[in-house]
Every structure is written in C-alpha cells, then in structure tokens.
Amino acid sequence: MFDLSLQSSQQEFGELIGVTQQTVSDLIARGVLKDGDAAGVWLLDYCAHVREIAAGRATNGDLDLATERARLAREQADKIAMQNAITRRELAPTYLLEEVLAAAGARAAAILDAIPGAIRRRNQNLTMDDIETIAREVAKARNIAASMTLDDLEAEASDIAAAALLE
C-alpha cells in the first residue's frame, strides 16, 4: 500500500496517478505540484488541477477552454448581430453598396455636367469664358467625387472628429 503521508519520487507518484515521471516533473515545473510535499498533498493538488481543467477554468497545455468558449460565444453573438442587421437592412454586402454608389455617382455626374448649359440658357449675359470657368469648377467637383476611396472617407471622418474636439 502507498503511504500518502510520506514524500514520494516523481516516478512513484506518476505510477499512482497513471502518468509518466516526465508528466509529474512538468506538473512541478508549472507549479501544480510543489516539490517536497507529501504524496497526499500532491494527490489533492493534482485532483484540484484536473477538476479545474474539466470545469474549463484552467489551462491544459496550450488549450484554455474557458477562453476558447468565451471567444466562440463572442463570435456567435457577432454572427447573429450581423444577421439581424442584414434582416433590418442596416447592413449590406460591399458589392451591393458599390453598385448603388456607382449608379448614384453616374446620375450626379449627369446633373453636374448639365449645369454649365443650364446656366448659359438662363443667363445670356455670361461670356463663354464665364461658362468655361463654371464647367471647370463642376468638373473638379465631379472628379473629386469620382475618385473618392474608403481611405478618403476615413481621413475626412478623422478630420471632422478632430475639429469637433477643438470646439
């Protein structure tokens, strides 16, 4: 019979709990077992450690079950939130947004291109140089809108936020 009140070797304790001596050495190195304690203390500490792993509150090697479960729960919550946003039409696929913006841009460009002619028809006093100046300014605005990227929008939002902080 094994006397739990005495110290035991790592090999003997490993045989008692069904693991190798290297595993017992690793348990000591990780602080699960304290070197020099009696076999009974090691047994209690080892059982507590195994219970924590089983409950998902402690790590076993590289796997931390509690953290992994929490990460999975967050990912599932994010997925459901995105599905709800799509259902409420608050979120749309990027390709669809690009198509809508391209169509809106084409319509706006047509309206902008018609401005110089409309002004000329309404005001006969303007010279051709005045109409060309208007046309150049409209073209600048159209070209800026056509060349906008997501980075430009993010930079503009940062500028607006910075200006708001200064107020």
- Residue environment code for 141-150, b if the CB has 16+ CB neighbours within 10 A, otherwise e: ebeeeeeeee
Lookup result for tokens 């994010």: 78
Q: What is the pLDDT along the chain (167 residues), one digit of tens a residue?
A: 678 888 999 999 999 999 999 999 999 999 999 999 999 999 999 999 888 877 766 555 556 677 788 889 999 999 999 999 989 989 888 888 888 888 888 898 899 999 999 998 999 899 999 999 999 999 998 888 888 777 777 777 777 777 777 76
Best CA proximity match to 65, nearest among 44, 46, 47, 51: 51
For residue 56, the model assigns a pLDDT of 64
Residue pair 13/22 in contact (Cβ under 8 Å)? The answer is no
Which ranges constitute the DSSP H helices of the chain? Answer: 10-17, 21-29, 39-55, 65-87, 94-122, 128-146, 150-166
**The token pair that represents 163 in the structure block:** 């200006």
pLDDT of the residue at 61: 55
In this prediction, residue 101 carries a pLDDT of 85
**CA–CA separation, 109 and 91 (whole Å):** 26
